[in-house]
Amino acid sequence: MIQAILQYEFLQNAFFTGILIGLVAPLLGVFIVVRRLSLIADALSHVTLAGIAASLLLEKYVAAFTGLNPLYLGMAFSVGGSLFIEKLRSVYKHYQELAIPIILSSGIGLGVIFISLADGFNTDLYSYLFGSVSAVSRTDLWVVLFISVMVVILIFLLYKELFLLSFDEEHAKASGIAAKSLHFIFIVMVALVIAASMRIVGILLVSSLMTLPVAASIRIAKGFKQTIFLSILFGEVSVLGGLVSSYYLDLAPGGTIVVIAVVILVLTILYKKITLIQQVR
């Protein structure tokens, strides 16, 4: 496998991109889960699907879009969807959870329309839905690298503020934290990571990489920072294990990544139960 990675550029692109996604997706996922916004990744992934389908449709009829990486329009739709979610959360102040299913439904609706106008599924769209090792280009790698560096820097600089905002929003506001601006920055980061992850994990499965490693780490972690560390560790194991499995078994990487993440989650749950039983004895 190592020899193949050194020999083929597409494998280098896939593995380096996977390592970056395995870092930033669970990193943001910890804050998403703590804030009880787990479904936001699903909503934005479906909006990203609409952007990808729109890009592939425009490529057929508009010369200016020929050869344009669909990732860019997918990111634009994802960021736009994230901003609409924040707007709707302010409109429905007492029913803020409504914002997510509204955007999710809109994304699915637009995606279906664009796909039907483009005469159904094609190979490109299939790779975006379920992930593909061979589809990751060097351009995709550089885009993911830029987004990953930006996310890590922002999390490092705004860690204390995001921590307070995640656990006690009212106290954070009373402390003078610009909650609205932080919400904006955070939601845009999530949108960009979701769009960037789709080549490896697939649009329909990307939310799993943001939540499953976090769900596993919560079971055994003894603090917030340890939760972040274990989430990233489980995320990397899932991604690298999934990519290796998909290469040898000729499977879509998204499915293998998610299955490994589920296995890790089940193992942590069993470990916690066994530990509790031993303590009782």
What is the predicted pLDDT for the residue at 2? 64
In the block, tokens 């193992």 appear at: 267
- Please give the pLDDT value at position 261: 92
The pLDDT tens digits for 211-237 are 999 999 998 988 889 999 999 999 999
Q: Quick one: which of 137, 120, 114 has its CA closest to 58?
A: 114
Q: Is the pLDDT of residue 113 over 80?
A: yes
Taking residue 193's Cβ as centre, other Cβ atoms within 10 Å add up to: 28
What is the structure's pLDDT at 42? 84
Q: What is this structure's pTM?
A: 0.85
Residue 127 C-alpha from the chain's centroid: 16
% of residues, the chain, pLDDT over 90: 18
What is the rounded distance in angstroms from the CA atom of residue 140 to the CA atom of residue 137?
5
pLDDT of residue 172: 72
Band of pLDDT at residue 41, cut at 50, 70 and 90: confident
Q: How many CB atoms lie within 10 A of CB 13?
A: 23
Domain 2-280 of CATH type 1.20.1440.120:
no
pLDDT of residue 64: 72
Domain locations along the chain: 2-280
What pLDDT band is residue 184 in, cutting at 50, 70 and 90?
A: confident
